[in-house]
Structures are given as C-alpha cells and as structure tokens.
Structure 1
C-alpha cells in the first residue's frame, strides 16, 4: 500500500501530456470538417418588441434610405500604392481619415448582398470600424455618389433598450438582408437589415434617462443584432474569427472565415506554433442563414494555410486571394494567390500599408480592401 501511494505521488509530479487537438495543423493541411462547428442561437427575443416600437414611430429605415441620407463624402485618393495600382482609390473625409478613435477593418459590397451586384439599384460598399473596447459602426457608401453615412451596431438587451457592441469587427459580409460580422473570440454575429432604426442625434447609447427617446452617440441610425453563431468545441480548441468573405462559386454559397496569426507566434499554453486555418460553412440562400442541423452549423471545408499576418481573403472558382499586412509605411502589404494543393504565388509589396479585410465582386471581376492606418485610409479596388 505504501509503495502504491509513493508511486501515485511521484506520478503527480510528472508533467501532464495533453492530447493533441485534432483541429490543429500539426503537419496536416486538410482538416476534419466535423471538428469545426458553430451553434446558432435563437433570434434575439427583444428585437421584435423594439422593432414594433420603432415601426409605430415611423422610424424603421431601409438601406436605400441610409444611402440617400448620406452626410459625408469620399474623395478620389492618390494613395502611396504598392507594386499594383488599384483601379479605384477612395479616401475618407478628413475627420475619418485622421481619427485615432475609430479604425476601419472590414469591407463588403452589394455584390455580396445579391448576385446581380446591386441593392435596389444601388451599388454600395459597407465598411466596419471599431472603437477599442467600446463600439462598432458601419459605413454605408453609395458607389455612384461616393457619399456615405455611419450606422452603429447595437445589441437589444431588453424590450425597451439596447447597448453598443465592443468587438474588433475584423471582417464583415453582406448577404441578402443580413450583415455577418466576425467576433474574434466567440464566432459570428448576424445583424438584421430589415430593422435599421432611426434614433435621436444625441449622446449616449440606448434609451434616454427620461425614457422618451433613444440615441447612439450622435449617429442617426442603429443596426441591431438578430442572432449569434458561436464556436462550440470549447475553450481548449480556440479559433480566431479574424476575417470573413463570401464565395458564390461554391454550391451552395459558402461563408469563409480565417485566422490572423503573427509570424512565429506560439501558444502560451504549450509553446507550440499557433495554427492558421481557413474554414467554410454552407449558406442557405432562401433564409440567409448558415445551414444548420439541430441548430449546429458544421464546416463544409477546413484547411491549414501557413501564411502569417493575414488580414483577409476571398475565394472564387477554387482560387484564393489573400491579403497579408506587414506594418505601417514605408512597409507595404502582400498579396498571395493560392489554389488548394499548390504553392501560393507571393506578390510582395502589392498593397499600400495597412491592407485589411477583402471582398470579391464577380460582376465586375474585382476585389476590394480597406486600409486602416490614420492619415492613409482608403477603399481600394483591384481587377482580378
């Protein structure tokens, strides 16, 4: 008995070996799609009640109304380009270009919303910005007038209130009446474009102290979250939802998410390389939701792509275009063109500094990115 107790005590002092997570790359490329699942939440129960209130006040706006009420304007820019000059370069107004309070991250377009490329005859871009630890806004840009307006993202917290959302919003994707926004540690949030609410232009977010009105830190419109798609495998198998894009060449359409991992980054838990993975989920074009079974969305494709510092990527007809950032100017961003099973072609210095998320427009055969650094902020369009 004493021998057994001594042996047990000695074993307790040995380092614990944790089984390798099958979701990690560990020399593999293709991964088991069953290991990448998202749980779809029930729709936010407070949203219908709030929507009924705003409808009664005549204060539910459409995307068209937001575009037509644009109160700021882009200007033709002359960015410090990389090796490839964009076919279009648009600079934000002075205040949005210079501010260090808000930082642009994600981009999508009306070509993501509908295959024909327009929304109610409008061609538009939508760009996400985050204010650190505080809130997220979307810029709705009319590509004809190049005017835009900011809309704040909110989360309904009660039948008569909402709050701002404090996430990085590293990537966005517009699909029908839904805008998908990545939430780095948790998964994907979905926002309801049928419920853009007009509020009072005043300080504060949510219901006023007197309970008679609503505001959103000086913005005229808010866009509420309708549901979540949360990462389900657990805390021991992290996935970073860093960027997002749509692929209409897949059947059915797919949503792709991927991870930003720094060059040489290692896990704090076990000092092993942090995996870099791209994952696709099937979309239901009739409901604009992820395809689920018993409330679970399971990946249709999962792959390890060993390119660090990736801020965004798009795929179409089995070809991937990948945006890698390298820091502030005079450094420039890189473009990788990759097909599964082949070595990626690297185009160093392709983008100006600060290149972020990407979006592909199959109608115009062009892709978009947005740059993040203050005093050098642009929407850039490139022909494929």
Structure 2
C-alpha cells in the first residue's frame, strides 16, 4: 500500500442506477399546491442566529484555531435530538444567488421519527433557517425521510444527500416550499402530512421534496459523505464511505450529471474514521474523526505525500468555499461550521 493509502479500486463495484420512480411527480404535485420560494428569500427572514466564534469547546486543543467559524444557536447546540452531518455551500452550487452554507441534520431518537433537515445559513448576516426534507407522492401525501444524511453537495439547483446503504437522494432547490404561502399557520407541530385540511411538517415552515434517486446497482457500497471537485474543467461529484476503526473505506468521483452511473475513478483510502472527503485534482483532503472528546485530524494527501493537520472535535463532511476548506462539527455544545486554509 502506498504511503498515502490511496489505492485504485474496482470502479464497477460502485455503479449507481437512476430510479426516479414517481418522486418528481410527487414533488411537482406538492410544489404546485404550496408554491416555491428562493434561498435568498428564506435567508431574508431566517429565524435563528449563529454566533461568530461561539461554541469554542469544539476547537479543543487545535492550534492554530480556524480563521473563522460560526456556532449554531443555544437551542441547536443543546439538543440531543438533531445532529449536524453534511455541509455544502453556494460556491458548490454556483446558482443560489446569495452566499450561503447548507448543513444536513438527522433525527437521532428511535421513536417518533422526524427525518432529516437542512439548515440554510448566511455567512454575511449569520442568520439561518431549517427546512425539512420529505418524500412526496402523486396523491398529494408526504412524509419524513429516515436516513443518516451523512453528507450533502449542491450542483446548480440540485442537492445530493448521502443515503448510507442506498446511494444518493436528489432534491431540487427550485422546490423550496414555504407553507405560509398556502396557509396562515404551520399546522400541528407534532404531525406531518395532511390532516384536517391542513398541511403539517412538525412545525417547520419550509419543505424540500425529493425529486430523484441514484441507487446502488449492487448491494455493498456505503455512502457516508458527498462533495464537489471543481478544480478541473469538468466538475465531479465525490462520495465515499466511513468505516469505524477500519482503513478499508472507499472514495470515488463521478462526472456530473452521473451519466451512466459508473464513477470516473475509485480508491481505497487506507485511513480509518473518515467523515468527509474532497479532492482538487490529485490532491485529497480527508476529515478524520476521533470521538466526542478528542480532536480530529485533517489528512492532506498529495501523490505519495501525507500531511496531518490539526482539526476540531467531531469534524464531518467537507466543502470548499471562498478559497477555504470548510467542515461542520456534530457533538452537543460543539456544533460549528469552520473554515481553514487549503
């Protein structure tokens, strides 16, 4: 095995196949009834405020500390129900119209499943707002999505969300729906779907229904994180697998728009506990976790060279924005979006 641990793998093991089914029809039905809004409009009235360089416990022993980081508000810091996982941004999208970060969260309790959500955060105002991701059906019904959502990436208006055992779910941000355009209130905060003539979404104002699905062609590959490599002439989608205490996790790159389903290349990373990965050509950045109390690491792999850099506690998915490498930290009272030099 090379010193970096990045060893070419059989691409055919990671083929994806498109299975849209009735997802697009269901999303269109719901969007037609509720009406869509823009990310810029959502951020203009966002109901939560992040704090610059808050939740400093997330940095642990990291020296030097990041040049900038944003902490979620006290309620989102303290909750044991929701955990942030995936991260992408307006640079990845190129189409949001306003600087923004997007963060995926999964609902941890086993009972009373509430699915997954995405936070839209403005690095300019530090205001942010949650939106619930749902599956809608042609009959007008809709419900939560019970997955880990360990990584997300945005390309144009399409948001790719990692579904650990199934592949990649796709959401069209043109279908960012504001329930207040359809009814004066947000319905029953303990229910989702249609009840008593009202639309309910556990009290969330905004919904984004799934529109597409790229599923694994054969069982086995696990999808834990997602990013976009925009360093070349053609952007590529990067995704791969977290393995606890096991260096055998894989990573692969697909030409967007995933035409044919087979990755352009794939590798075995040779490093355990990788929570996020992004590439810039032959240079790789890997986010490595070490539990809820110890600092993680940033592994920078360039050919045969491996560099290990200090990282905060609980680093997850990776993205590149504004010339920096950004990640999100997941643990209670240590939840931040932070950026470091490439």
Give TM-score, length-normalised by structure 1: 0.80
Shift, 1:339, TM fit? 2.2
Match of 2:96 in 1: 119
Question: What are the within-5 Å matches in structure 2 for residues 245-324 of structure 1?
Answer: 245-264=227-246, 275-283=248-256, 289-292=257-260, 297-324=261-288
- Which secondary structure state, in structure 2, belongs to the residue aligned with residue 107 of structure 1? strand
**Aligned partner of 1:69 among 29, 33, 45:** 45
Structure 2: how far apart are the matches of 1:50 and 1:95? 30
Is the 1:50–1:159 Cα contact (8 Å) retained in structure 2? no
Match of 1:99 in 2: 79
**Aligned partner of 1:224 among 206, 209, 213:** 209
Shift, 1:343, TM fit? 4.1
Structure 1: how far apart are the matches of 2:189 and 2:99? 32
Shift, 1:249, TM fit? 1.6
Structure 2: how far apart are the matches of 1:373 and 1:319? 28
- Which secondary structure state, in structure 2, belongs to the residue aligned with residue 346 of structure 1? strand
What are the Cα deviations for residues 133-188 of structure 1, in whole angstroms up to 9, with x where unaligned?
A: 53111000011101000000000134211101111010000111111100001100
- Which secondary structure state, in structure 1, belongs to the residue aligned with residue 334 of structure 2? coil
Give TM-score, length-normalised by structure 2: 0.89
What are the Cα deviations for residues 103-146 of structure 1, in whole angstroms up to 9, with x where unaligned?
A: 011111100001xxx732x1100011110253111000011101
- Which secondary structure state, in structure 1, belongs to the residue aligned with residue 300 of structure 2? strand
Shift, 1:64, TM fit? 1.4
Structure 1: how far apart are the matches of 2:30 and 2:6? 48
Structure 2: how far apart are the matches of 1:159 and 1:143? 39
Is the 2:96–2:157 Cα contact (8 Å) retained in structure 1? no
Structure 1: how far apart are the matches of 2:341 and 2:242? 25
**Aligned partner of 2:10 among 32, 36, 39:** 32
Shift, 1:204, TM fit? 4.2
Moved over 4 A (4+): none
What are the Cα deviations for residues 173-223 of structure 1, in whole angstroms up to 9, with x where unaligned?
A: 01111111000011000001111122242324543322x221210110100
Structure 1: how far apart are the matches of 2:127 and 2:174? 22
Structure 2: how far apart are the matches of 1:299 and 1:189? 17
Match of 2:36 in 1: 60
Shift, 1:313, TM fit? 1.3
Is the 1:161–1:206 Cα contact (8 Å) retained in structure 2? no
- Which secondary structure state, in structure 2, belongs to the residue aligned with residue 60 of structure 1? coil
- Which secondary structure state, in structure 2, belongs to the residue aligned with residue 290 of structure 1? coil
Name which of structure 1's ranges 70-79 and 97-106 shifts more when overlaid on structure 2: 70-79
- Which secondary structure state, in structure 1, belongs to the residue aligned with residue 8 of structure 2? coil
* Residues 1:145 and 1:28: Cα distance change in structure 2 (over 3 Å): closer
Structure 1: how far apart are the matches of 2:277 and 2:36? 34
Q: From the CA coordinates, give the structure whose radius of gyration is larger.
A: 1
Is the 2:90–2:99 Cα contact (8 Å) retained in structure 1? yes
Is the 1:47–1:159 Cα contact (8 Å) retained in structure 2? no
Match of 1:240 in 2: 222
Residue 332 (str. 1) matches residue 295 (str. 2): yes
